[in-house]
Structure 1
């Protein structure tokens, strides 16, 4: 074997390790998340960069538990809740999740449409939103699981654009490294609300459902027999995927903190505002990379959001499910996805702004996240459900830390939202 073919084989093996974990992690940096991270940088400069490091082990612990549930039980998260827990809990989660995920989809579609309009001003934003929604629906319904997974994995590369932006502009690296490894806090409501927003964006409940269900798909697609090696490969995939998403969110905050904060622009509410503000300050290259990244991540995240909801509904009502199925084999699964995307598209036209949608989504996610994390911990410590693949010490340690942090954050967010 030649050196070139050896390198190609090694790269193929390395790329093949990554699967649901990479897609899940990358989809977390959706247009809504990009808006949140940009606002964090614009409002506080590099002061919140440390959050990318602190949230990493928390994200890994929760997503690894969800992935393990899917692999070991051969059921998604909703399927396990339906089988082992009270029905009222199942329906409560579903009732809260449907509007929150749909609002998230709506905010992402609107963001993609607005950025498309920035790149091509002659075409209205709603035309781009309709086009992008139609393309996503077509690909999800008519393409095979293997093709969808392949394309989603390559779409993750669109996020690299955000890593490149800081290297196109001047960055005070000693100051940045100080803020990264020596956290500083501003004792005011705006700072802690922003921190809550980052937590809510990075540890989102829809990712829990998607991760577990996609591991089931992978198990079926590759005909896996779960053993120690498969679990270790899954853990590597999750750790790599979460590392990728946190690196990207770190660099989005860094870019916004360097360009917007230093220019005195401290309030960014949408991705198109961020892109428009970047152009005169950072140049056309940074502007174009930012805009293309928003569209790429939208194509990546919206199928994950819609897919998570479809898996939840299918498992609740016992429908056939899976992206490996044709439409006629799993009509309820695909109809749920189509309805969620179409309703998400219509949100913009019925007068709910993307920012309103994000606020409502944050509150709804805030209500469900602590409950779901507690359930995931309970499932992963049950020998009845997980057999010999129950949690080890560190999974419980970081899982409980995530539960406490999300509970406190959610209470703070609810108090601020309902009390103001």
Structure 2
């Protein structure tokens, strides 16, 4: 018992020591991301496992740059854009980000409702969606930033269920190792589409803005006014790397689960998260089914505040509104108004007949188009000594950053081609 308490205390201390990086990375594995990874595993088995190794350093490099910008400037990415770059870049970012993020929120809310309906079939999925939306809004409006951040950290734990699911199934671990370290690429339209989807799901622009803003807000909350030192930078990098690694490990295990359970049994089409859970049940058993469904709900509670919060910060910094999750509602009404509007629209999308999967496709296209532009801007800011002082990019940051830009640009072109070609 004492040993168990000791490990629990270490876990609590570890979570408390981590900052925005863990929440940012974990929120990337939202219900829509889970649907994407499930489809990739069901359709191609273990063939795409190696992508988890490739996307990790790319995600970590870009998110580290965004976090460093937030630390050094004590401002969000949008404020830095507004102060140092042409207005059209800022407006283009908002133009594409608003519909993309709202569609993503709508799909995630629908996924949470559907997963809860699997657990309690007597309650309609939409009723659960409305309930979850109200709970998320209440938490964001009522609790201060530090409390919200603490709650989100604990929701990260729900992602651990996906690491457990494969151990309830029969997995050929030698094939898994081979598929992980020896990349396989099929030059078919379907496989290329899957690679584009993975890139678009893991390297999403809204995460860039959330990361920078949360680092800046974290500094402001702690009342730190000293110059950023090497210790702070090192701690931030550790936090970001932990979050991005956690995100990619979860992605890896979701692909592994569906690749080991669904693919061998000929189940190749998974369009929603509830389909993945239902498909697992007769093959992998009730435990896998329950864990998968519970994880979807937990990731929704984690991701939706990040999605709506990042959008609200974009608008607040653009129009110079009072902002911050530490503010009371009456102190920052427009800021909280954007969060409320985005969540309400997200819920209503489920009423007017918009297919959540189609919504995710559209949001992925919009993310894919804006990501290369935002990455290019992040690279420019993080190499600009007038903004960053001595904390500009090192060699490896630039190498990984430019590689990410090239891959995301190629993904954007491929995405457009695959969507509009016959």
TM-score with structure 2 setting the length: 0.97
1:206 corresponds in structure 2 to 206
8 Å Cα contact 1:17-1:233 kept in structure 2 = no
Root-mean-square deviation over aligned CA pairs:
1.4
1:41 corresponds in structure 2 to 41
1:218 corresponds in structure 2 to 218
Name the SS of the counterpart of 1:349 in structure 2. Answer: coil
Report the alpha carbon displacement of residue 13 of structure 1 after superposing the two structures with TM.
4.2
Taking the aligned partners of 1:11 and 1:132, their CA distance within structure 2 comes to 27
Structure 2 gaps, min length 5: none
Report the alpha carbon displacement of residue 24 of structure 1 after superposing the two structures with TM.
0.2
Structure 1 gaps, min length 5: none
8 Å Cα contact 1:96-1:364 kept in structure 2 = yes
1:271 corresponds in structure 2 to 273
Taking the aligned partners of 2:44 and 2:34, their CA distance within structure 1 comes to 15
Report the alpha carbon displacement of residue 57 of structure 1 after superposing the two structures with TM.
0.2
1:413 corresponds in structure 2 to 415
Name the SS of the counterpart of 1:348 in structure 2. Answer: coil
Report the alpha carbon displacement of residue 4 of structure 1 after superposing the two structures with TM.
9.4
8 Å Cα contact 1:107-1:355 kept in structure 2 = yes
CA distance 1:40–1:6, shift in 2 (3 Å)? closer
1:255 corresponds in structure 2 to 257
Deviates more, 1:5-14 or 1:316-325: 5-14
Report the alpha carbon displacement of residue 328 of structure 1 after superposing the two structures with TM.
0.8
Taking the aligned partners of 2:133 and 2:44, their CA distance within structure 1 comes to 34
1:18 corresponds in structure 2 to 18
Report the alpha carbon displacement of residue 5 of structure 1 after superposing the two structures with TM.
9.2
2:351 corresponds in structure 1 to 349
Matched, 1:367 2:396: no
Report the alpha carbon displacement of residue 11 of structure 1 after superposing the two structures with TM.
4.8
Deviates more, 1:388-397 or 1:115-124: 115-124
C-alpha offsets along residues 356-384 of structure 1, whole Å, 9 cap, x if unaligned? 10010010001100000000000000000
Taking the aligned partners of 2:289 and 2:313, their CA distance within structure 1 comes to 36
Report the alpha carbon displacement of residue 15 of structure 1 after superposing the two structures with TM.
2.6
TM-score with structure 1 setting the length: 0.98
1:185 corresponds in structure 2 to 185
8 Å Cα contact 1:70-1:215 kept in structure 2 = yes
How many matched pairs?
419
Taking the aligned partners of 1:11 and 1:105, their CA distance within structure 2 comes to 30
Deviates more, 1:8-17 or 1:233-242: 8-17
C-alpha offsets along residues 131-181 of structure 1, whole Å, 9 cap, x if unaligned? 000100011011111111111000000000000000111100001100000
Report the alpha carbon displacement of residue 59 of structure 1 after superposing the two structures with TM.
0.2
Taking the aligned partners of 2:154 and 2:42, their CA distance within structure 1 comes to 29
Taking the aligned partners of 1:91 and 1:24, their CA distance within structure 2 comes to 24
Name the SS of the counterpart of 2:351 in structure 1. Answer: helix
2:140 corresponds in structure 1 to 140
Runs of 4+ that moved beyond 4 A: 2-13
Matched, 1:92 2:92: yes
